[in-house]
Amino acid sequence: MKITGAQALIKSLEHQGTEVIFGLPGGAILPVYDPIIDSTIRHVLVRHEQGAGHMAEGYAQATGRPGVAMVTSGPGATNTVTPIGNAYMDSTPLVVITGQVATGSIGTDAFQECDITGITMGITKHNWLLKDANDIPDVIAEAFHIATTGRPGPVLVDLPKDLSQTLMEWHAPPAPEELDLPGYHPQTKGDPQAIAAAAALLAEAERPVLYVGGGVLKARASQALLAFAELTGVPVVTTLMARGAFPDSHIQCLGMPGMHGNYTAVTALQKSDLLVSLGARFDDRVTGKIDAFAPNAKIIHVDIDPAELGKVRRPDVGITGDAKSVIEDLVKASAGLVQADRTAWWSQLDEWRARYPLTYDKNETVGALKPQGIVEALSAHSPEDSIVVSGVGQHQMWAAQHWRYDHPYTWINSGGAGTMGFAVPAAIGAKAGRPEKTVWAIDGDGCFQMTAQELVTARSEEIPIKVAILNNSYLGMVRQWQEMFYEERYSEVYLSPDLPDYVKWAESMGCVGLRVDTPEDVVPAIEKANSIEDRPVVIDFRTDASEKVFPMVAAGASNDEIMVHPSQREGA
Amino acid sequence: MAPEPFLGATEHTPVTHHILSVLVENKAGVLARIAGLFSRRGFNIYSLAVAPAEETERFSRLTIVVDAESAPLEQIIGQLDKLINVVEISDLAPIEAVERELLLATVPVSEADRGELLRSVAHAGAAIIDFSESQVTVSLSGTPAAIDAFEKALAEQYPSPEIQRTGRVALPRLDRSR
């Protein structure tokens, strides 16, 4: 059967099970937009290509399926660079299809030409520039396979316009095991000897901690982790990328470690004698000053990516493998072992938990609501399995700290890259993939302004997300650093609470806009927003600009130098 | 006279250098992927040689001499192995490898000095492969140490010789005890 390359591309995407493409057409990708009309795949028309990429990321993180974005050449392609880089840092499976100028024009600086495979080489797991329309089914199959297996990540396929217009002989794409990829064999099963050694080391440890990262979610290993934690009785910390991988309400959960982690989680890692790192990568935001991180701890490091073992900290036992498979094997290997007596460790942890809970000043005034309290109210008054999506900055940290995460895949954020503007489009993508769930974007006013034009997409495509802007009229995290480390010399961080008018912005984009500046209105507004199902809702919460995120470990400082909330400090 | 096998460090080849013999799929951009990886991860390449591998056109073999002081060797190998087009990596410590490199040099030399040049060439096991009235081109294949020594000798003897080196290729040293 002869079909065009464009038809072959859409057919290949259908074959891979694609249910939604986030995209925006243009010259070089134009031929592909014709067969989309006849396809079963839903196309979500975005207002900026960056939005398409972040939507695909939100979709992937919420569903576990690869997100697909499609854009044209040149600026269309370069606008996806930020989401691709973001997905690379957070190991999110993403398939980005870019149109390219016709093969004969490549290298001539043709209109809307750019070397997008060159540009994205360092931020994709792999990319392809197609040279032959007959390769389309195989390359798309390879793209999905590589994006979703091993350590997941973004891939990009660049399709020259003449290939989408030319006829090719359709053939069904090969099954994953038949793909011709001689250099790609991810190892999923952990080495049995290393697993036995790890289980033995853990059983003997007196102050162990399970240091759980995003890899546990990627591997869909939450159930296995729960079984492992309960079998061994070891405390658990969940990193920013792993919130929800282990229930916050579980007695063994210490919460989030890191620069803005809670005192107990941070200090438990510091004082531990054994860290069992599961799908985490010793990121600098978790370790603080690396030489001073968990100085007396032995390390068991489990990761699907062997290059992570020893990249930052040399493990005593390194295990390459899929987190689910390895944790299940660790459960089996631990079953017959007697765990060391950890009564002293737990009483120490409980003492810290009682003495240094997450806290904030609850003394609110009109127009200066406490952002932490808003997050707590959102959490308390929204369906328990709601999905929370955040941007980057203070609001992100408050959302990570003060929402109670009891279910996996309910927290989506930009962790490694720290991409401001992530929340609104990623929330749209999450809602497109999980339409039955309530999806809250908890955003900052600075972040919101970067990508909020996608509310038009949300309204027109009937993707009713909810947005809570914690509007403190500042680039808050930068303001916090300027207050603490630059002698309160505030430089280029003031944004104004009223410019833009966020309620009018929401209304002009077909959304419901609400403004809340008094404490009594917080809960009613949240309840109202949660009752609206037919369109997006934006709430402009006027928050206290002087609020800072605590605890905090200053950049480059040791985790031992954690600054708790002022009310918890000596002499307070 | 064949140069002695290179067994240790010289000025140009510190022991922190490791030889990676890398089999790659011969696809467009594969060199850029490798070069880009080394650059963005801060790994140093000391030399690089590329040629088609075996009879097929499908694969190429790269011999990369890396500076294991710039990053731990296992980290360099681990990151390199993540490239989809990289099929196989063998790591050779200099002491476990036989290495060869090719040097071509064009030196300006007067009629009167040709006798001296011929003696140097013969002593090093090099060959004269081209000449004109005022210049001679010589070639030497040998261990990196032998090439280093010959290059140094030429540079001392003649004003501004034009020198090209290929970078080394290597295979594992054979085990004679078996």
Q: What is the pLDDT of residues A531-545, one digit of tens each?
A: 999 999 999 999 999
In this complex, how many residue pairs, one in chain A and one in chain B, have their CB atoms less than 8 Å apart?
44
Say yes or no: A161 and A198 in one domain: no
Residue of A131, A183, A307 lying closest to B87 (CB–CB): A183
Quote the CA–CA distance of B95 and A347 in Å, as a whole number.
55
pLDDT of residue A436: 98
Quote the CA–CA distance of A217 and A500 in Å, as a whole number.
37
Residue A477 lies in a domain: yes
What residues of A are in contact with residue B24 (Cβ under 8 Å)? 183
* Angle at CA of residue A492, ends A489 and A494, nearest 5°: 95
Question: How many residues are there in chain B?
Answer: 178
Residue A396 lies in a domain: yes
Quote the CA–CA distance of A463 and A310 in Å, as a whole number.
43
Say yes or no: A496 and A380 in one domain: yes
What residues of B are in contact with residue A310 (Cβ under 8 Å)? 72, 74-75
Query: Residues near A207 by Cβ (< 8 Å), separated by ≥ 6?
Result: A271, A272, A273, A274, A342, A345
Is A282 one of the catalytic residues? Answer: no
Give the side-chain half-sphere CA count within 13 A for A40: 9
Q: Which one-letter amino acid corresponds to residue A263?
A: Y
What's the Cα-to-Cα distance from B178 to each of B98, B99, B174, B175, rounded to whole Å? 18, 21, 9, 6
Is A111 one of the catalytic residues? Answer: yes
The answer to whether the Cβ–Cβ distance between A121 and B33 falls below 8 Å is yes
Written as one string, the DSSP assignment of B36-71 is HHHHHHTPEEEEEEEEE-SS-SSEEEEEEEEETTTS
What residues of A are in contact with residue B29 (Cβ under 8 Å)? 117-118, 121, 129
Residue B89, pLDDT above cutoff 90: yes
Q: Give yes or no for a contact between A539 and A526, defined as CB atoms under 8 angstroms apart.
A: yes
pLDDT of residue B4: 44
Instruction: Choose the catalytic residue: A477, A547, A548, A550.
Output: A477
The pair of three-digit structure tokens given for residue A109, joined into one six-digit string = 């600086």
Question: How many residues are there in chain A?
Answer: 572
Looking at residue B114, the DSSP 8-state letter turns out to be: H
Residue A548 lies in a domain: no
Domains: count for chain A: 3
CATH number at residue A259: 3.40.50.1220
Quote the CA–CA distance of A195 and A331 in Å, as a whole number.
10
Choose among A416, A68, A360: nearest CA to A242: A416
The answer to whether the Cβ–Cβ distance between A183 and B29 falls below 8 Å is no
Instruction: Choose the catalytic residue: A49, A376, A454, A547.
Output: A49
Split at pLDDT 50, 70, 90, the class of B14 is low
In the predicted model, residues of chain A with pLDDT beneath 70 are none
Q: What is the pLDDT of residues A40-83, one digit of tens each?
A: 999 999 999 999 999 999 999 999 999 999 999 999 999 999 99
Say yes or no: A126 and A45 in one domain: yes
Residue A454 lies in a domain: yes
Quote the CA–CA distance of A47 and A136 in Å, as a whole number.
28
H/E stretch holding A96? strand A94-100
Is A161 one of the catalytic residues? Answer: yes
Q: Which residues pair with A67 in a beta bridge?
A: A94
Query: A486: domain range?
Result: 371-542
Residue A184 lies in a domain: no
Say yes or no: A379 and A509 in one domain: yes
Say yes or no: A412 and A527 in one domain: yes
Quote the CA–CA distance of A277 and A295 in Å, as a whole number.
15
Between B17 and A548, the more confident residue is A548
Q: Give yes or no for a contact between A538 and A506, defined as CB atoms under 8 angstroms apart.
A: yes
Choose among A291, A292, A293, A323: nearest CA to A305: A323
What residues of B are in contact with residue A186 (Cβ under 8 Å)? none
pLDDT of residue B13: 52
Residue A550 lies in a domain: no
Quote the CA–CA distance of A401 and A47 in Å, as a whole number.
32
* Angle at CA of residue A322, ends A321 and A327, nearest 5°: 95
CA distance B28 to chain A (A): 9
Choose among A432, A392, A420, A460: nearest CA to A47: A460
Is A178 one of the catalytic residues? Answer: no
Residue A560 lies in a domain: no
Quote the CA–CA distance of A544 and A235 in Å, as a whole number.
34
Say yes or no: A126 and A226 in one domain: no
Say yes or no: A41 and A108 in one domain: yes
Say yes or no: A172 and A202 in one domain: no
Residue B10, pLDDT above cutoff 70: no
Phi, psi (degrees; rounded to nearest 5) at A101: -65, 160
Quote the CA–CA distance of B152 and A63 in Å, as a whole number.
63
Say yes or no: A309 and A417 in one domain: no
3-state secondary structure of B142: strand
B166 has a chain A CB within 8 A of its CB: no
Is A112 one of the catalytic residues? Answer: yes
Q: Which one-letter amino acid corresponds to residue A365?
A: T
Instruction: Choose the catalytic residue: A111, A193, A223, A351.
Output: A111
**ipTM entry:** 0.92
Percent pLDDT > 70 in chain B is 90
Quote the CA–CA distance of A473 and A366 in Å, as a whole number.
15
3-state secondary structure of A273: coil
Say yes or no: A287 and A413 in one domain: no
* Pairing of the two strands A466-471 and A411-412: unpaired
Residue A186 lies in a domain: no
Look at residues A144, A178, A212 and tell me which one is the last residue of a structural domain.
A178
Split at pLDDT 50, 70, 90, the class of B15 is low
3-state secondary structure of A423: helix
3-state secondary structure of B146: helix
pLDDT of residue B11: 43
Phi, psi (degrees; rounded to nearest 5) at B59: -120, 150
Phi, psi (degrees; rounded to nearest 5) at A539: -110, 125
Say yes or no: A376 and A343 in one domain: no
Which residues from A are below 8 Å from B when comparing CB atoms?
A: 117-118, 121-122, 125-126, 129, 131, 146, 181-184, 305-307, 309-311
pLDDT of residue B2: 41
Residue of B28, B74, B75 lying closest to A129 (CB–CB): B28
The pair of three-digit structure tokens given for residue A91, joined into one six-digit string = 């190991």
Q: Give yes or no for a contact between B5 and B76, defined as CB atoms under 8 angstroms apart.
A: no
The pair of three-digit structure tokens given for residue A513, joined into one six-digit string = 């806009």
* Pairing of the two strands A411-412 and A387-390: parallel
Q: Give yes or no for a contact between A4 and A165, defined as CB atoms under 8 angstroms apart.
A: yes
Say yes or no: A330 and A261 in one domain: yes
H/E stretch holding B100? strand B97-108
CA distance A151 to chain B (A): 10
Place of tokens 């609400």: A514
Domains of chain B (ranges, CATH numbers): 17-96 (3.30.70.260), 98-172 (3.30.70.1150)
The answer to whether the Cβ–Cβ distance between A125 and B84 falls below 8 Å is yes
Q: Give yes or no for a contact between A468 and A536, defined as CB atoms under 8 angstroms apart.
A: no
The answer to whether the Cβ–Cβ distance between B28 and A181 falls below 8 Å is no
pTM of the shown model: 0.95
Q: What is the pLDDT of residues A440-484, one digit of tens each?
A: 999 999 999 999 999 999 999 999 999 999 999 999 999 999 999
